[in-house]
Chains A and B, each alone.
Chain A
Amino acid sequence: MVTPGMPDGVPPTGGATSGAGPGQPEPADPSGPLLRLRGVGKSFGAVHALADVNLDIPAGQVTALVGDNGAGKTTLIKCVAGIWEPSGGQILWNGRPVHIRTPKDATALGIATVYQDLALCDNLDIVQNMMLGHERLSYGLLDEISMEKTARQTLADLAVTTVRSVRQTVGSLSGGQRQSVAVAKAVMLDARLVIMDEPTAALGVSQTELVLSLITRLASRGHAVVMISHNLNDIFRVADRIAVLYLGRLVAQGSASEFDRQSVVDIMTTGASSRRGNGSSGGGESAESRGVTSGLED
């Protein structure tokens, strides 16, 4: 890591603590990135799906994970989400080495994954979906009032305003609203890192805008966001950082300003680009990307 102490901005994890809701413990290493992968690899028998991945995920920023089909994007997030255990390497959470063996481990750390299929129950309403598995009881019966208030507050914090009522069934929502509910559910459980798998893949134009603004808002609240996407428009709209995987290797990562569309496509398809000026792969100057971010959002 190049610049541990931020000269100009707020430390990224400092943003996370203020934004991630009450009850968050102070991070052990507030200056480094929230999640750091060091030499992470994953093999399935003789197949090396991932090899020697070094990736930094800072809080308060959107990191886009791109790559062609089979490049290892899904394998990588499944290693972080606890679905698969990495075969090698180290995962550092707030600077501390951690072992994420099960999805529960990931949830306990504050890593929430929103998969493409969203895993929502169409027949339940928004509150019931958001609180599923975490229902609150009073006198042995469901405490609907407390749950509804929490769900409402979370949605309000994320400025999800397009739903008519939190007592609407999820089946009646649009694709973007469903994505919003899935994200709100993840955030409500005090997630500090939200991983989103193809969040805009199935959405129309206006729904995509809804989700992209939600992603930006998540980052501005201090959450770290990892977004897998194939859509370069979306990536350049919201990503602060871009990491490119090619055949199981992380071949480039850095601030979004270091890339342009053509260079990303080149790296995705060939593993290298002649157009990329700043060749610092794996560096990830947070201070720099911070400047870029504000530029993007003007």
Chain B
Amino acid sequence: MASSERGDPGPEAGAPVTFVKEPEQSDSILADDALVSTAPDLIAGSLGEYTTIWWRRVRSGESGALPVVLGLIAIVAYFQIRSSLFLSAGNLVNLITQAAFIVTFGMAEVFVLLLGEIDLSVGYNAACGATITCWMLAPPNPYPWWVAVLGGLAFSAAYAGVEGIIITWLRLPSFVVTLAGYLGGLGLLLALINLAAPDSGGTIQLNSNTLNDIEGGAMSPVTGWIVMIAAVVLAAVFLVMRDARRRAHKLAAPPISVTVLKIALMAVAGVVVVLIGNTNRGVGFAIVRGVPWVVLVILVLLIAWTTLLSRTRFGRYVYAIGGNAEAARRAGISLKRIRILAFALCGLTAGVSGIIWTSNLSGISNNFNGGQYVLYAVAAAVIGGTSLFGGRGRMLGAVLGGLVVGVIYNGLQLLGLGPAAQNMWTAGVLLAAVTVDAVARRGSTTSTS
């Protein structure tokens, strides 16, 4: 009996089964029967091999950013054919500022969709938070702008956090609780605006140049280049260092060619954004140029939330709960804490969205269409590859999905088509995205769960 020897895995001792594959080398658990059987490890993987694995992931439902990028290109091409103004610098910058709040709404929704929950109240929650920010900035005694922002964000996080507490402690469906939050938020918005600006006809101004500049202002052309180069260099250093560390520990790392390709793509995207932003979009003699500040806001939010979801315990647990809540519970994870925190983060991000929206119009009024924006938020997240069933989705996807919704919104306006066409287009794209999600999901698992 093999109990006398150290558990050395080998074909000789503890394995009565001869036709189960035994390792040629004990450390080569990456050995594969079909594809890469010659490689003891994947350290020296090639670009082609990476493509194969990547394609496998695409087919298994981890489709990543590919479908949404392809969709985005197709829609942009369509609008450019229909209207030569679409790809003009002026319209593209306009598009970015229009789409920014949809993008952030989509990012907010990702937190709860990953858990398999939904938050229908993000729209009016964001509006209430933004109203509080405006109120705190109102004369005669305005707070500093950042205090007002913190106040508004704190409200939005708390609002969604309370919804999360109700959902987890009373075990109510998030759909119903946040529907109540939606209606309550609408009522609260009307009450808040009446309180804050009684004689304004239901409108409150955003009394801060700094905050109005998020959407209305732009970086100087030089600042735009510096920010872009800094972001790309940081990302490149991070990727290269990570791969180098993995190689140093003899773990499989993406081939250098793949990493170079990724960095090149980021650089190209950055250069394009800055070139568009720095083109003069002024009408007549006025010169207007520079990347809108909101791009930086979204970039920072994207990096922060991506790090949170992919590099921290909290993020890992969000995915785990969305994938299999029972497994997460047995692993000793506090489901309630993670769920409540995810709802609070959803509210916080929605609060950012509310401030961006307010910045765009220099104020907020009581005809804020929170109902439609919730649907845009869910659409952005789902178009970006976030599964409605939980466990799958990324922040970058929400950014791209939000851009898709923004492009449709902007493009149809440019073509002179009204809300009827806008909504039907968005519906069509959403349906297509959900179909892609469902089909990918069907092919993804070998299990019956």
CB distance from A156 to the nearest CB of B (A): 5
Among B3, B249, B391: residue with most chain A CB under 10 A: B3
Contact A221/B323 with A145-B246, A159-B22, A166-B29 known, Cβ cut-off 8 Å: no
**CB–CB B446/A121 < 8 A:** no
**CB–CB B324/A120 < 8 A:** yes
What does DSSP make chain B's interface, helix, strand, loop or mixed? Answer: loop
* Inter-chain contacts of A79 with B (CB < 8 A): none
* Inter-chain contacts of B9 with A (CB < 8 A): 156-159, 217
**CB–CB A167/B29 < 8 A:** no
B16 within 8 A of A: yes
Contact A141/B444 with A162-B21, A165-B42 known, Cβ cut-off 8 Å: no
CB distance from B10 to the nearest CB of A (A): 8
**CB–CB A222/B312 < 8 A:** no
CB distance from B60 to the nearest CB of A (A): 5
**Which of B6, B311, B328, B331 touches A141 (beta carbons < 8 Å)?**
B311
**CB–CB B326/A117 < 8 A:** yes
**Which of B19, B21, B331 touches A161 (beta carbons < 8 Å)?**
B21
**CB–CB B316/A216 < 8 A:** no
Can you give 28 A-B contacts (C-beta < 8 A)?
A12-B3, A119-B324, A121-B327, A122-B391, A122-B444, A124-B316, A124-B320, A133-B328, A135-B313, A142-B312, A156-B9, A156-B27, A159-B9, A159-B26, A161-B22, A161-B29, A164-B35, A165-B42, A165-B53, A167-B252, A175-B447, A206-B20, A213-B14, A213-B15, A217-B9, A220-B13, A221-B2, A297-B1
B289 within 8 A of A: no
**CB–CB B327/A156 < 8 A:** no
A193 within 8 A of B: no
Residues in B13-38 with C-beta less than 8 Å from chain A: 13-17, 19-23, 26-33, 35-36
**Which of A60, A133, A172, A297 touches B333 (beta carbons < 8 Å)?**
A133
**CB–CB B328/A159 < 8 A:** no
**CB–CB A122/B447 < 8 A:** yes
Among A173, A210, A222: residue with most chain B CB under 10 A: A222
Contact A119/B326 with A217-B7, A290-B1 known, Cβ cut-off 8 Å: yes
Interface size on A, residues (CB 8 A): 69
Distance, CA A172 to CA B323, complexed state (A): 14
**CB–CB A123/B392 < 8 A:** yes
Q: Contact residues of B with A, CB < 8 Å?
A: 1-7, 9-10, 13-17, 19-23, 26-33, 35-36, 42, 53, 60-62, 245-246, 249, 251-252, 307, 311-313, 316, 319-320, 322-324, 326-328, 330-333, 391-392, 444-447, 449
Residues in A117-170 with C-beta less than 8 Å from chain B: 117, 119-124, 128-129, 132-135, 137, 140-142, 145, 148-149, 152, 155-167, 169
**CB–CB B320/A171 < 8 A:** no
**Which of A59, A121, A172 touches B444 (beta carbons < 8 Å)?**
A172
Distance, CA A19 to CA B13, complexed state (A): 14
Contacts across chains A and B counted by CB atoms under 8 Å: 183
Distance, CA A237 to CA B15, complexed state (A): 11
Among B9, B22, B26: residue with most chain A CB under 10 A: B9
Contact A171/B444 with A60-B1, A220-B3, A221-B14 known, Cβ cut-off 8 Å: yes
CB distance from A74 to the nearest CB of B (A): 16
* Inter-chain contacts of B6 with A (CB < 8 A): 18-19, 221
**CB–CB A216/B14 < 8 A:** yes
Per-position binary interface string of chain A over residues 190-217, scored 1 when its CB falls under 8 Å from any chain B CB and 0 otherwise: 0000000000000000100110110011
CB distance from B132 to the nearest CB of A (A): 31
The residue on B at minimum CB distance from A155 is: B29
* Inter-chain contacts of B32 with A (CB < 8 A): 164
The residue on A at minimum CB distance from B252 is: A165
**CB–CB B3/A219 < 8 A:** yes
Distance, CA A9 to CA B445, complexed state (A): 46
